[in-house]
Amino acid sequence: MLPNIGLDQLLLLDIETTPGEAALELLPAHMQALWREKNTKIAPESETEDASYSDRAGIFAEFGRIVCISVGFFHLENNRYQLRLKSFASEDEVALLNNFFDLIQKFQERIPSFQYAGHNIREFDIPFICRRSVIHQLSLPKSLQLHGLKPWEVPVVDTLHLWRFGDFKHYTSLKLLTAVMGIDSSKDDIDGSMVGKVFWETKDLERIATYCQKDVLAVAQLLLRFKRLPLLLPEDVVVIK
């Protein structure tokens, strides 16, 4: 599987998002009204507006924010793949995005034809990054200027799409896919539903970054499995501070 994809040509990524504010009442009045309008279409009738905002706002770029982007890249060492991980985690979303874009620029200078890789990044992570960047009036790197590209021209390797094998009715979580592929789960501290609470209550960005990096590592292991290569050992993984 994946005979034409070089692992060292990939920039693996994962993001963590939270609601834009700690509570619904902290939004400007017109944004509260717009959330209530959206909430009537997405929330169960039994769920309160405040609970819905805390639970769901982080998945919408119009109401959420990015608090962490983790990336990973493979390199060969003694004929064995190793993985380097780096995270950008900050309360300042603009600074976080600019630092991520700086890394993309350097990566593209070294590997002009690189592709992004991750789980469900085609439908979530990459669109979320692009939308938040437009909201902040940031210039998107060329590799994220995807408008007008044909589907096969988009520089993305998505493990969710690889596993679908063309079946677009089927969704498989990263946790489930790693389990069936015999890969240790990356979820051993918090999960995505807890990121907002951790951020707004404790501002523990290091904890969030560690969780985010584990998702990137899980994607790396999946790609190795798909290519029928040995999995990474703990000593094969380096976190760059």
What's the pLDDT score for residue 112?
Answer: 93
Three-state SS for 95?
A: helix
What's the pLDDT score for residue 4?
Answer: 86
- pLDDT tens profile 216-239: 999 999 999 999 999 999 999 999
- pLDDT tens profile 201-222: 999 999 999 999 999 999 999 9
User: With bands split at pLDDT 50, 70 and 90, how would you rate the model's confidence at 45?
Assistant: low
How many alpha carbons lie under 13 Å from residue 107 in its C-beta half-sphere? 25
Q: Are 201 and 47 in contact (CB under 8 A)?
A: no
Domain residue limits, the chain: 7-20+63-229
**b/e burial code for range 131-154 (CB count within 10 A of at least 16 → b):** ebbeeeebebbebbeeeeeeeeee
- pLDDT tens profile 124-146: 999 999 999 999 999 999 999 99
Q: Which CATH superfamily is domain 7-20+63-229 in?
A: Ribonuclease H-like superfamily/Ribonuclease H (3.30.420.10)
Q: Are 10 and 73 in contact (CB under 8 A)?
A: yes
